[in-house]
Amino acid sequence: MYKQNFKPLSKLLVVLSLCLLSTPLMALRDDVTKPVRINADTVVFNKAKGFAVYSGNVVIVQGSLQIRAWEITIQAPNNTIQSITAKGSPVQFQQTMDDGKVAKGKANLVRYLVPQKQLYLDGAAELTQNNDKFSSQHIEYSTRTGELKAGIARVKGKKPDPKGRVSAIFYPTNKAQ
């Protein structure tokens, strides 16, 4: 698997912006203070069991953060969010960074494990900012350590899928004088 270090990001929804690519980024600082707005075709909510499932054209907006998915499941036993799982074809998200640039991402499955501060993107995962682009079938990101891993898990006895390779395109940010 490919590994790269990134500076950690804070707050649950901010991680979905992902600290893209080679430059440490921060989402708009005031996004986490904004209300979270969720729209969906249906919702199943059970506070006693600690879960909510939003289905059908789900849209979440918090400040500049926008997430679009077919289904989002939130596991929150004892009123403490443990995990958020978003499914779509693909799940799409974007957020404006403090520098004014827009970070975008997509994957068929996005999971965030809150206590572990671990984000997983699976199935045609892609992160972009400006012209820079990072893609793989599987991406893991730790908001605790800032480490990003990408690639496919190798299954013993099976040949790796050539579509599962990591692809990165980076454009120079320092122009020669």
Q: What is the pLDDT of residues 34-67, one digit of tens each?
A: 888 999 999 999 999 999 999 999 999 888 889 9
Percent of the chain past pLDDT 90, that is, above it, reads 30
How far apart, in Å, do the first and last CA atoms of the chain sit?
A: 36
Tokens of 153: 């898990």
* Positions of the chain with pLDDT lower than 50, given as ranges: 1-26, 177
Judge whether 107 and 101 are in contact, CB under 8 Å.
no
Name the DSSP letter for residue 16. Answer: G
pLDDT at 157: 59
Strand-pair partners of 103? 95, 129
pLDDT at 32: 77
- Count the Cβ atoms, other than its own, within 10 Å of residue 59: 14
pLDDT at 159: 60
- Whole-angstrom distance, CA of residue 9 vs CA of residue 144: 8
- Whole-angstrom distance, CA of residue 20 vs CA of residue 144: 15
Average pLDDT value for the chain: 77
pLDDT at 156: 53
**Assessment of whether the complete model's pTM goes beyond 0.75:** no
Domains (ranges, CATH) in the chain?
31-169 (2.60.450.10)
